[in-house]
Amino acid sequence: MRSTASKSAAGHKPDLIAKIRAAGLRPTRQRLALGKLLFASGDRHVTAESLHLEATKAGTQLSLATVYNTLHQFTGGGLLRQVIVDGEKTYFDTNTGDHHHFYFEDRALLMDIPGDDVQIDGLPKAPPGTEIERVEVVVRLKSRA
Amino acid sequence: MRSTASKSAAGHKPDLIAKIRAAGLRPTRQRLALGKLLFASGDRHVTAESLHLEATKAGTQLSLATVYNTLHQFTGGGLLRQVIVDGEKTYFDTNTGDHHHFYFEDRALLMDIPGDDVQIDGLPKAPPGTEIERVEVVVRLKSRA
DNA sequence: AGGTAGATTAGAATTATTCTAAGGTATTGA
DNA sequence: TCAATACCTTAGAATAATTCTAATCTACCT
Cα distances from B112 to residues A36, A106, B5, B101, B103, in angstroms, run 41, 27, 37, 5, 9
Find the residue closest to C18 using CA and C1' atoms: B65
A contact test, residue of B47, B106, B120 with most A CBs within 10 A: B120
Quote the percentage of chain A above a pLDDT of 90: 66
Give me the pLDDT at residue A7, please: 41
Cα B49 to Cα A105: distance, rounded to the nearest angstrom: 26
Q: A4 versus B58: which is more confidently predicted? A: B58
For B25-80, the pLDDT digits (tens) are: 999 999 999 999 999 888 899 999 999 999 999 999 899 999 999 999 999 999 99
* C-alpha to C-alpha distance for A120 and A136, rounded to whole angstroms: 10
**Distance between CA atoms of residues A69 and A71, nearest Å:** 6
Looking at residues B91-119, what average pLDDT do you find? 89
Is the C-beta of residue B100 closer than 7 Å to nucleic acid chain D?
Answer: no
pLDDT at B5: 37
- A122: nearest CA in chain B? B118
* pLDDT over 70 at B4, yes or no: no
Q: Higher-confidence residue: B41 or A95?
A: A95
Q: Pick the residue with more confidence: A101 or B106?
A: A101
Q: How high does pLDDT run on average in chain A?
A: 87
Element (H, E) at B141: strand B130-143
Distance CA B101, CA B85 (A): 9
| Beta-carbon separation of A124 and B135 below 8 A | no
Cβ(A8)–Cβ(A28) below 8 Å: yes
Per-window interface: A 90-129 vs B, CB < 8 A: 90, 102, 104-105, 111, 113-115, 117-124, 126-127, 129
pLDDT of residue A139: 93
Segment B10-14 shows an average pLDDT of: 61
The answer to whether A113 and A99 are in contact (CB under 8 A) is yes
Q: What is the DSSP string of B26-50?
A: ---HHHHHHHHHHHSSS--EE-HHH
Question: Running DSSP on this structure, what letter comes out for residue A58?
Answer: T
pLDDT band at B109, cuts 50/70/90?
Answer: confident
Determine contact, residues B92/B83, Cβ cutoff 8 Å: yes
User: B2 pLDDT exceeds 80?
Assistant: no
Q: Is the pLDDT of residue A5 over 80?
A: no
Taking 50 as the threshold, does the pLDDT of residue A2 lie above it? no
pLDDT at A4: 35
Residue of B nearest to A137 (CA): B137
The reported pTM is 0.86
**pLDDT score recorded for residue B11:** 57
